[in-house]
Amino acid sequence: MKIKSRYSIVLAAVAFVAVAWTSCSTTPSVQRYIVDHENEAGFASFTVPADVLQIQEGADVDEESVEALNKLNNLVVLRYDIADGTPEQFEGYLAELHTCLNPDRYEDVFMMNTGEMRVSLKIQKKNQERLSEIIALLEQNDSFLLARLTGDIEPDKLARLIRKIDYQSMMDNEQLKGLIPS
């Protein structure tokens, strides 16, 4: 009787692990891409917490702008430069990233190609009025830069907030020094 009981426990444990394993999403994500590559050769990354954003001195800061700022989580930037790799690696990394940015997950809102640079802006909607992510991708022949802004984003409020951000003060901020080349 004990053998049958142990067998049932082992069988139940195996079934639980199998269900848990298959219920995990295997769809590639931008977040997973960043985590997987941020420490690899050729990649550089940094995260800008929303509390680093500074409003221009003297700017008329309304309640909606403060609310928009408080609903942002952070901005994560990942850059790859081919100088530390091969053209094949570069194309592979870029193809993998494009797989993560599939149209089932992200909606294109802006695309531009100058011949030397391709820029795309993508969004992930939370609902009709709000976004959960904004993705910007800049591609050149020898590098690419991915920026991911997350939060409970209301586009109209974010646009008003962007006009009030003091970018010079941000660049002088001790938390950001050394992250962005001058």
Where do the domains of the chain lie? Answer: 27-172
Burial readout 30-58 (b: 16 or more C-beta within 10 A, e: otherwise): beebbeebeeeebbebeebebeebbbeee
pLDDT given for residue 155 in this prediction? 87
pLDDT digits (tens, 9 = 90+) for 136-182: 999 999 999 999 999 998 888 888 777 766 655 655 656 555 454 44
pLDDT given for residue 111 in this prediction? 94
Residue type, 5: S
Residue 142's φ and ψ, nearest 5 degrees, are: -125, 5
| Three-state SS annotation for 7-74 | HHHHHHHHHHHHHHHHHCCCCCCHHHHHHHHCCCCCEEEEEEEHHHCCECCCCCCCHHHHHHHHCEEE
Q: Supply the mean pLDDT for the chain.
A: 79
Residue 7's alpha-carbon distances to 1, 11, 15, 21, in angstroms, are: 10, 6, 12, 21
Report the distance separating Cα 143 and Cα 43, nearest Å. 10
Cα dihedral sign for 53, 56, 58, 63? negative
Least confident of 28-37, 47-56, 95-104, 133-142: 47-56
- Compute and round to an integer the Cα radius of gyration of the chain: 21
Half-sphere exposure of 151 (CA within 13 A, CB side): 20
pLDDT given for residue 7 in this prediction? 57
- CA angle, 174 then 177 then 178, to 5°: 150
pLDDT digits (tens, 9 = 90+) for 112-138: 999 999 999 999 998 888 999 999 999
pLDDT given for residue 19 in this prediction? 42
pLDDT digits (tens, 9 = 90+) for 82-101: 987 899 999 999 999 999 99
Residue 97, exposed/middle/buried by CB under 10 A (0-12, 13-18, 19+)? buried
CB 78 within 8 A of CB 146: yes
pLDDT given for residue 48 in this prediction? 81
